[in-house]
Chains A and B, each alone.
Chain A
């Protein structure tokens, strides 16, 4: 298994594997998103309290879940980068940050657009909203830190430290609705209780599961593409890159 792991960590093997996987991940992601969004907008019934405004759930919840998962991914990759000094893990930390920042911003803005018709306000300094905003600042910090160093490996290691330190905010975001009084509703499916006894009816649930899966697969494809670019940039003088693009 370790041999396979080390072979995968080699830039040329990773580049070729990513080339193979990305189109499939992307195609599957877009198909799931298309079906999920159609189901959410046209097939799911309106909520008895929130009416049609609840349909924002099909983009807000996947974006919010992804914002936390991407930061967790960065922290794990950061740990691997710092302990084993694996180049691909360093690359994963710095390339996941812009994707994570975009989905965190999306979660915040779609949350505001959901909050206005539901709570009567676009923004409240609630524990969930504030901790999610802190998460966006952490992502921006990683992006800024990466650009502050001229040496890519030093920058990546600094980003790995920030990813590891900042990961403390992830459980705070997730459990904020339980730890503090909050306007924000609790987890719908992302809890043990929620999986055993979903708090959402079947016709409303399946489009959400599809858009969730679609967002995660899309993240996989986007991350692989960005990692490929970074690998190319770092290895541009390596023989395998020169051979790959020899005219």
Chain B
């Protein structure tokens, strides 16, 4: 690979990896927080949070 283009090519692929990772991690973290909330509220029928 021509080193003249290395910065542009590798930056593009690194950014792509970041976007894919964010799309994987962000819903996983939301899900974890949500499941904790649901599990915590399981014994409390009045809980709406």
A residues touching B (Cβ–Cβ < 8 Å)? Answer: 26, 33, 37, 41, 46, 51-53, 55-56, 59-60, 63, 98-99, 102-103, 105-106, 109-110, 113-114, 116-117, 218, 222, 225-226, 228-229, 232-233, 236-237, 241-242, 245-247
- Number of B residues contacting the other chain (C-beta, 8 Å)? 29
Complex alpha-carbon distance, A55 and B2, angstroms: 11
Is chain B's interface secondary structure helix, strand, loop, or mixed overall?
helix
Q: Chain B residues near A51 (CB, 8 Å)?
A: 2, 4-5
A-B contact pairs, 13 of them (CB 8 A): A51-B2, A53-B9, A55-B5, A56-B12, A99-B23, A102-B19, A105-B19, A110-B16, A116-B8, A222-B24, A228-B31, A229-B34, A245-B38
Q: Which of B5, B23, B27, B42 contacts A53 (CB 8 A)?
A: B5
Is chain A's interface secondary structure helix, strand, loop, or mixed overall?
helix
Q: Chain A residues near B27 (CB, 8 Å)?
A: 222, 225-226, 229
Beyond A46-B2, A228-B31, A232-B35, 8 additional contacts (C-beta under 8 Å) are: A26-B24, A225-B28, A229-B31, A232-B31, A236-B37, A242-B38, A245-B38, A245-B42
